[in-house]
């Protein structure tokens, strides 16, 4: 089973830009979270 999984990982790594894809998607979420944090900061300051 582990052998199959390793083969699958290698195939995905060889056939796709897996690391780039993961980095781009994670980057999108971090931007969303950063915007969320900035909104929280601004709202907290303005409402106070």
Partner 1 sequence: MISKPTTDDLRLISRFTGKIIIGIGLLMSIPLITSVCFREWPVVIDFIIGIGAAMAVGYVMVKIGDTEKKPTWVHGMVTASFSWLVTMTIAAMPYWLSGYYLSYLDAMFDVMSGFTTTGLVLIQDLDHVPDGINMWRHLITFVGGQGMIVLALTFLVKDAAGGYKLYVGEGKDERLLPSVVHTAKIIWRISLIYLVIGTFCLWLVGLLIGLSPISSLLHGMWVYMAAWSTGGFAPMTQNILYYHSFWYELVTVVSFVIGSFNFALHYVVWTGNPGEVRKNIETVSMFVTMIIFTIVGCYGLAKLHVYSDAVNLFRKGFYQIISGHTTTGFMTIYARQFIREWGDIALLAIITVMLFGGSACSTAGGFKGLRIGILFKAIIYEMKRLLSPESSVFVQRFHYLKEQVLEDKQVRSSALIVMMYMATFLIGTLMGNLCGYPLTEAAFESASVTGNVGLSIGVTTAAMPDILKMTYILIMWVGRLEFMSVLALIGFFLAGLRRK
Residues of span 3-42 touching partner 1 by CB under 8 A: 5, 8-9, 12, 16-18, 20-22, 24-26, 28-30, 32-33, 35-37, 39-41
Is the backbone of residue 17 left (phi > 0), alpha (psi -120 to 50) or beta? beta
Q: What is the dihedral of CA 24, 30, 33, 38, to 10 degrees?
A: -110
Min dist. Cβ of residue 1 to partner 1 (A): 11
Under DSSP, the state recorded for 17 is -
Which residues in this chain contact partner 1 in the complex, by CB under 8 A? 5, 8-9, 12, 16-18, 20-22, 24-26, 28-30, 32-33, 35-37, 39-41, 43-48
């Amino acid at each position: 089973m582990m052998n199959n999984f390793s083969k699958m990982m290698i195939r995905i790594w060889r056939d796709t830009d897996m690391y780039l894809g993961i980095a781009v998607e994670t980057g999108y979420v971090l931007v969303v979270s950063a915007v969320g944090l900035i909104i929280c900061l601004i709202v907290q300051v303005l409402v106070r």
